[in-house]
Amino acid sequence: MNSSPPGDAPGEGRYGEAFFRPDRAGEAERIDFGALAYDDITMARLRALGAGPGWRCLDIGAGTGTVSRRLLGETAVASVLAVDRDVRFLDARPAPGLRTLQADVTAPDFAPGSFQLVHARFVLMHLSERDRLIGRFAELLTPGGVLVLSDAVDLTSERTPATPYSTAMRAMWQGLRATIGTDVSSVPSYPHLLRGAGLDHVAAEIHVPPLVPGSAISRFWADTWQRSREAMVATGLVDDAGIDAAARYLESDACAALSAGMLTAWGQKPQGPTG
């Protein structure tokens, strides 16, 4: 029996097909706005976890490759394999040590090797079978290697004041879930899931970028609404005028809202008997 309320059942569509198609003008720029908002936080965490000389790294769903290239340029890791279902943005910006692989990471035969760092940001939330995938990604670690997962967390509650922004965000999460299965509700469970995958030294943190006019995160949400407008309107929670009002609100002095955050959770593969 399906106990989901009407309009809340996970969709059968896929990221990059119904929405966020890489062949649509401006999609690389949209991903880059997200990267601008979060890359410094991601890099600080990856450095703190030891990313550095000699490490072989896997960047899953690498997008435009900003983290892959910063790992190579700033921490001098040995190599980064950047995997994506569509590698056009990665191949457009090559870097020494960066290899790309076009692959669907949900495929049962996805086995790209073993790595000291496996990193996936803003990918798992768009995929079903999160538990299986976390287990699979953990298997790709060398002993002592770290799996680092980052995804969005919705920090609103029933007491969150209604603003054009909060209305648009509620419609976005619900619309994306109904169409392509995006689900941020299990993101706070990542530490538990990492532990269940056999990893040690599990911990997590959340970063919330300030929603200020002209910021990268404000541009990111406004762009994301434009690209998922149809799914948002189909929820009945917002109409086209409401989405336009939310975009204007983000760029106005009236804006007083809390962005969705990025939760980063990590865990380390045990060293083994001789480690």
Ligand X SMILES: C[S@@+](CC[C@H](N)C(=O)[O-])C[C@H]1O[C@@H](n2cnc3c(N)ncnc32)[C@H](O)[C@@H]1O
DSSP 41-74: HHHHHHHHTT--TT-EEEEET-TT-HHHHHHHHH
Find the shortest distance in angstroms from Cβ 217 to ligand X: 13
**In sequence order, which residues have a C-beta less than 8 Å from that of residue 205 and are 6 or more positions away?**
45, 263, 264
Of the ranges 4-12, 104-112, 161-169, 178-186, which one interacts with ligand X (CB under 6 A)? Answer: 104-112
The C-alpha R_g of the chain, in whole angstroms, comes to 19
Q: Does 69 bind ligand X (CB under 6 A)?
A: no
Nearer to ligand X, 127 or 245 (CB): 127
Q: Does 183 bind ligand X (CB under 6 A)?
A: no
Q: Are 163 and 233 in contact (CB under 8 A)?
A: no
Q: Does 35 bind ligand X (CB under 6 A)?
A: yes
Q: Does 34 bind ligand X (CB under 6 A)?
A: yes
Alpha-carbon distances, residue 119 vs 1, 82, 105, 130 (angstroms): 36, 10, 12, 14
Q: Does 62 bind ligand X (CB under 6 A)?
A: yes
Q: Does 126 bind ligand X (CB under 6 A)?
A: yes
Find the shortest distance in angstroms from Cβ 234 to ligand X: 21
Gap between the Cα atoms of 39 and 60, Å rounded: 15
- One-letter amino acid of 134: I
Out of 11, 36, 43, 106, the residue judged to bind ligand X by CB under 6 A: 106
Task: Give the interface with ligand X as residue ranges (CB under 6 A).
Answer: 15-16, 31, 34-35, 61-63, 66, 83-86, 104-106, 121-123, 126-127
